Structure 1
Amino acid sequence: MTVLRTDDADGVRTLTLNRPHRKNAIDAELWDALRAALEAAGRDRGVRALVLTGAGDAFCSGADISQGLSAVHPVYRMRTLTEVTLLLHELPVPTVAKVTGVAVGAGWNLALGCDLVVATPRARFSQIFTRRGLSPDCGGSWLLPRLVGLQQAKRLALLAETIDAEQARALGLVTWVVAEDEADAFVDGLTARLVAGAPVALAQTKALLDEGATATLREALAGEARAQAANFATADVREAYAAFADGREAHFTGAWAVPGTGAGRRKDEE
């Protein structure tokens, strides 16, 4: 059985954690598969949005501890987790977590590492680490205080409480709660809107917002200026202006369109 399913449709790549018999707990094989899949998605210009979800009745129950402690030193095991976390956060396309069932520990932090989170009413979340004698990983210690503030982050991490989808939404940890039978259609519609967006502008916007969490105003303004220069160098800005004038929807490609740079340019460089 493939531990990670990859499906492509209309510019959307869906990665499905596929160990439903273990509620998609992540073992060494799945960590390696996730790392390879995220690396591939970051290189593929055909991918305009990415969905992360789980097979069966769970999103992800965290790291798989069913086989007990590993003989591999934790320093080496954590290296893979770190690489996966960074690849997910730094992916240049918008990412959506579709959460049904449990999302706990590293699984919840992978969901939080996505740009948008869609959950169903039966979703349940927990920073379960302290119940296992551990502390947060996969970016949880960095994400939680930025998303919910320090006190609520400490509540979630120290007490390892389980909260439901509506509680998570009230805290700003879930973007939408959608009925179970509507979740697939909702995510399809959401990703279609993201795919229709200007890819360079979306990548710049995502990076600016992520960097802005720790930037000064002066640093943020400098970043915005650099981002706009990159945006104006695409055909998408002209297309947006033309579409506005024509009263039609714009068709964005992210193509490079600086005057005088067309000579000798290959199609795959656009």
Structure 2
Amino acid sequence: MDPLDDSPDSLVLHATDNGVSWITLNRPAAMNAVTWDQRERVISLLGAASADPAVRAVVITATGKGFCAGADLRGAPATGTASGSERVAGDVARTIRQGAQRLITAVLDCEKPVVAAVNGTAAGLGTHLALACDLVLAAESAKFIEVFVRRGLVPDGGGAYLLPRLVGPQRAKELMFFGDALRASDAERMGLVNRVVADAELAATAKEWAERLAAGPTRALALTKHLVNASLDTDRSTALAAEAWAQEINMTTRDANEGVASFVERRTPKYRGL
């Protein structure tokens, strides 16, 4: 690849292998700080993964020593301000809604399970990108930093939504108030990370997990993801009703019928994602 090539296709590498869509941030010199073009490509790839029956799991990872250093707003399109560089009320909120928040919701709303393979430092939006994924693997050298307070900023990109749901409000405030770097092992202990592995084993472990997911009942996993995510914002009766209807919908799939048949016939099921 041309080292001067800064096209979206070169800055976000993509490949589909064995039912897994691999999305790789590829801007290592900038610790994979996400540009506008990168963000739009990742959002597009996640949408394509939802719609493509051949894709049954997604991995988000990065090259180099950083997973994602946050958002790089340089080169972003104009926000439609009233005049030149003058900022008017609503510009910042609009930029966040159309930018960082869209990226995070694209992960949360992806209909396929998404695995984060955090290869290095995840800071700011990079931390939230990882935590929005369904499963998080981290290399031993990885760190997570709620860097916003260091810049005098409020956490954005869904941070104040995601963190309290993962570690509770007190821990979330500690991370966001101080902005200290959190080692991968401590992130695992707090429940932010599913598993920490040696740096050299990260890619192989991510491949193993993603291929296991890709061999599973894809629609059942999508419905399960939706139920779990929605349960955090709803009451018991609504959650139970949603569960019942999800199972009703799921039982119309071929994979559900295969799962039941394989149990009755005492054999290993062969799921096809349908």
Deviates more, 1:117-126 or 1:74-83: 74-83
Q: Which amino acid aligns with 1:252?
A: Y
What is the aligned-residue RMSD (CA, Å)?
1.7
Decide whether the 8 Å contact of 1:60 with 1:104 is kept in 2: yes
Aligned residues: 254
Decide whether the 8 Å contact of 1:130 with 1:159 is kept in 2: yes
Q: In the aligned structure 2, how far is the partner of 1:64 from the partner of 1:231?
A: 41
Cα deviation, 1:142-178, whole Å, max 9, x if unaligned, reads: 0011111101100101111111001100110010001
Decide whether the 8 Å contact of 1:12 with 1:50 is kept in 2: yes
What corresponds to 2:88 in structure 1?
Answer: none
Decide whether the 8 Å contact of 1:102 with 1:123 is kept in 2: yes
How far residue 181 of structure 1 moved from its aligned partner, in angstroms, is 1.7
1:147-226 mapped onto 2 (5 Å cutoff)? 147-226=166-245
Q: In the aligned structure 2, how far is the partner of 1:31 from the partner of 1:74?
A: 17
How far residue 237 of structure 1 moved from its aligned partner, in angstroms, is 2.3
What corresponds to 2:51 in structure 1?
Answer: 43
Q: In 2 relative to 1, CA 91–7 (structure 1 residues): closer, same or farther, beyond 3 Å?
A: same
- What is the percent sequence identity of the aligned residues? 39
Q: In the aligned structure 1, how far is the partner of 2:165 from the partner of 2:234?
A: 13
Q: In the aligned structure 1, how far is the partner of 2:35 from the partner of 2:255?
A: 42
What corresponds to 2:83 in structure 1?
Answer: none
TM-score (norm 2): 0.88
Q: In 2 relative to 1, CA 184–254 (structure 1 residues): closer, same or farther, beyond 3 Å?
A: closer
Secondary structure class of the residue paired with 2:267? coil
What corresponds to 1:227 in structure 2?
Answer: 246
Q: In 2 relative to 1, CA 69–88 (structure 1 residues): closer, same or farther, beyond 3 Å?
A: closer
Secondary structure class of the residue paired with 1:181? helix
Q: In the aligned structure 2, how far is the partner of 1:28 from the partner of 1:217?
A: 39
What corresponds to 1:259 in structure 2?
Answer: none
Decide whether the 8 Å contact of 1:3 with 1:33 is kept in 2: no
Cα deviation, 1:19-67, whole Å, max 9, x if unaligned, reads: 01101001222122222222222222211000000111111111126x5
Question: Which of 131, 140, 143 is the aligned partner of 1:121?
Answer: 140
Secondary structure class of the residue paired with 1:56? coil
Higher relative contact order (CA closer than 8 Å, sequence separation 6+): 2
Decide whether the 8 Å contact of 1:38 with 1:84 is kept in 2: no
1:1-270 mapped onto 2 (5 Å cutoff)? 1=5, 2-64=10-72, 67=74, 72=79, 73-78=91-96, 79-255=98-274
What corresponds to 1:267 in structure 2?
Answer: none
Query: Could you list the runs of 5+ residues in structure 1 that have no partner in the other structure?
Result: 256-270
Q: Which amino acid aligns with 2:45?
A: A
What corresponds to 1:260 in structure 2?
Answer: none
Q: In the aligned structure 2, how far is the partner of 1:10 from the partner of 1:197?
A: 12
Deviates more, 1:238-247 or 1:207-216: 238-247
Q: In the aligned structure 2, how far is the partner of 1:173 from the partner of 1:145?
A: 11
Runs of 4+ in 1 over 6 A off after TM superposition: 68-71
Q: In the aligned structure 2, how far is the partner of 1:5 from the partner of 1:74?
A: 29
What corresponds to 1:261 in structure 2?
Answer: none
Cα deviation, 1:177-223, whole Å, max 9, x if unaligned, reads: 01112212211111111011111110111100001112111011100
Secondary structure class of the residue paired with 1:59? strand
